[in-house]
Structure 1
Amino acid sequence: MPQRHFLLYKPYGYLSQFTSEFEREQRKKRFLGELHDFPVGTMAIGRLDEHSEGLLLLTTDGQTSAQVRSKDIEKEYYAQVDGLITDEAVAQLQEGVEIGLRDVRYQTLPCQVRRLVEAPALPPRGRSIRSDRHGPTSWVSIIVTEGKFRQVRKMTAAAGFPTLRLVRVRIGEITLSDLQPGEVREVSELLPAAALAE
């Protein structure tokens, strides 16, 4: 049976999983299976937390999943942060910052960060971010090759600019393109065959 692969624009408020072992969570949370009739054996490649949005890849193929999660594949995020982010904060993020991972401290790897001059043209989020009267916000692009738990949110907070909205816009060469929140698109492959053979 051929493997199947999907692109999904994960909306705000959904977990990046199909079920939960916790009965209370199963009753109160929203899961990926509500968005599409995925085949048995489909797995999300990596995760976006409940309050994050954007590109999520899914596959029935474990080999493809492992390849996409490797440090060879860039993941790009647009983060709306609280305040007007400074050049110093951008440089700090580029060099790597110390974040907490459970009971340990972790130094993030150097990454690519740039301030976005204008807010990106993204679909509105299901829930409002906050009122403008609470002060200005700004947007940054952050490209990482690692994927620690809530890493980008923790990075911007460590630099003094907490994330208000987080959208993953690219994984490797795959972008959100014209996908809309909740939309699923089946594709023939997620990575070029050459990349899988490396």
Structure 2
Amino acid sequence: MQETGHRYFIINKPANMVSQFISSHNVGLLGDLDFDFPEGIHAIGRLDGNSEGLLILTTNKKVTKLLFQGAVPHKRVYLVQVVNKVSEESLNKLRTGVTIRIKGGEDYITPVCEVSIVESPELLAKQAHALPEYIPVTWLLIILTEGKFRQVRKMVKAIHHKCKRLIRVSIEDLVLGDLEPGCVKEIEEKDFFELLKIDNWQ
């Protein structure tokens, strides 16, 4: 038995699946995965339906507040495939802040973040296959410490590029690793909070 009785999982969420177990729409659900999740499980830090990669599931309702609403921001890393080549000027715009529209219709300038071009994305995520060769693309590695609704997609759009794939590869030291799309991994409670760099979880 774990210290609080709660359970913690990560999944490699495939595209075309929402971060929910129930929906009124005809969409792919977490319950479609071949895994017997415990009662009371829910997703933390959701990914939209088209996005892929690291998704946390837990029965512990305190995790959202501890991870995303605390005083100390937590680093999230995304592998992003965009159409066409991204210029150094556009990279610098992403790094220093771009204007996006957020909830309520307000304009919001994104804070300083880390952005780099990745030449070999297969080293970061197995499912990072490219589009057909005749379509020029750029793979970006974007590191944020916040997550407004569809923020990464909006940031890419702000520099006039279309996001084709978005894969979250890590949150702090909790990494996707070699977990295959659609697969689930359970993590011990102590390890879970240590990897997320959360000290005050007990």
Please say whether Structure 1 and Structure 2 have the same fold, judged by a TM-score greater than 0.5.
Answer: yes
Number of equivalent positions: 190
Q: Is the aligned partner of 1:34 residue 2:36?
A: no
**Quick one: which amino acid aligns to residue 56 of structure 1?**
L
How far apart, CA to CA, are the structure 2 residues paired with 1:47 and 1:97?
23
TM-score computed with the length of structure 1 as normaliser: 0.88
Q: Is the aligned partner of 1:166 residue 2:166?
A: yes
How far apart, CA to CA, are the structure 2 residues paired with 1:8 and 1:181?
8
Contact 1:18 1:31 in 2 (8 A): yes
How far apart are residue 194 of structure 1 and its match?
7.0
Contact 2:127 2:181 in 1 (8 A): no
Deviations 1:70-124 (A, max 9, x none): 4521110000011111111111001111111242211111111111122334334
TM-score computed with the length of structure 2 as normaliser: 0.87
Contact 1:99 1:155 in 2 (8 A): yes
Deviations 1:17-58 (A, max 9, x none): 1102x3xx0xx2111011122111111111111111000011
How large is the Cα RMSD of the aligned pairs?
Answer: 2.0
Residue of structure 2 aligned with 1:15, choices 15, 18, 40: 18
How far apart are residue 143 of structure 1 and its match?
0.6
Q: Percent identity?
A: 37
> Which stretch of structure 1 is more off in the superposition, 49-58 or 100-109?
100-109
> 1:69 corresponds to which residue?
68
> 1:146 corresponds to which residue?
146
1:21-170 equivalences in 2 (<5 Å): 22=24, 25=25, 28-35=26-33, 36-70=35-69, 72-102=73-103, 103-121=105-123, 122-124=125-127, 130-133=131-134, 135-170=135-170
Superposed structure 1 runs of 4+ greater than 4 Å apart: none
1:175-194 equivalences in 2 (<5 Å): 175-189=175-189, 190-192=192-194
Q: Is the aligned partner of 1:2 residue 2:2?
A: no
Task: Classify 1:194/1:10 alpha carbon distance in 2 versus 1 (closer, same or farther; 3 Å).
Answer: closer
Task: Classify 1:104/1:39 alpha carbon distance in 2 versus 1 (closer, same or farther; 3 Å).
Answer: same
Which runs of 5 or more residues in structure 1 are unaligned? none
> Which stretch of structure 1 is more off in the superposition, 112-121 or 152-161?
112-121
Task: Classify 1:120/1:130 alpha carbon distance in 2 versus 1 (closer, same or farther; 3 Å).
Answer: closer
How far apart, CA to CA, are the structure 2 residues paired with 1:194 and 1:154?
28
